[in-house]
Amino acid sequence: MAIRDIKKYPDEILRKKAEPVESFTAELDKLIEDMIETMYFASGIGLAAPQVAESKRLIVIDTSWENNGNPSQIVLINPEIVECHGSIESEEGCLSIPNYRATLKRNASLLVKGYDRQMRPIELECEGLLARVIQHEIDHLNGILFLDHLSLIKRELLKKRYLKSLSK
């Protein structure tokens, strides 16, 4: 396992739509392990493959800290939201835009389909934080960043502040 560099905005890979995963390979398994280790190292609760420079429709998540539980990793390959309900507003951040947060509206509950790390079909019904994280990470697979959900004024202000912080 290895900790990978997390790509930061405005890296162009963060704006590209990721490619579907066609089959499970040893290389994919290594990527999954690296992503999990990288997510924990960065104190994140979700990570998408494009954030570590891999254009693959793959996300890893662990929100177990919310319930003071043991690590509980979720691996979703080629995830797709098939149903969503309600809405909720909450503060959100991103490992690719460090130290910046904003309040976003997301769907409150989801039905997600995809594949687990052995490429077996999986269906998840989720709500709350897990639903938010899945939406955030699927956005990454589609080249969308959390700041894209902000109003134009808020988005431009955040981008300006963030890009200015990079030059310091």
For residues 14, 129, 64 and 79, what is the CA-based torsion angle, rounded to 10 degrees? -50
Q: What region, left, alpha or beta, does residue 143 occupy, with left being phi > 0 and alpha being psi -120 to 50 degrees?
A: left
Would you state the structure tokens that stand for residue 159, as one six-digit string?
Answer: 């981008």
Instruction: Identify the structural domains of the chain with CATH numbers, from first to last.
Output: 12-166 (3.90.45.10)
Distance CA 97, CA 7 (A): 9
Task: Provide the percentage of residues in the chain whose pLDDT is more than 90.
Answer: 92
Q: pTM score, two decimals?
A: 0.94
Distance CA 6, CA 130 (A): 21
80 included as an active-site residue? no
Q: What is the pLDDT along the chain (168 residues), one digit of tens a residue?
A: 799 999 999 999 999 999 999 999 999 999 999 999 999 999 999 999 999 999 999 999 999 876 566 668 999 999 999 999 999 999 999 999 999 999 999 999 999 999 999 999 999 999 999 999 999 999 999 999 999 999 999 999 999 999 999 887
Catalytic entry in 12, 92, 137, 156:
137
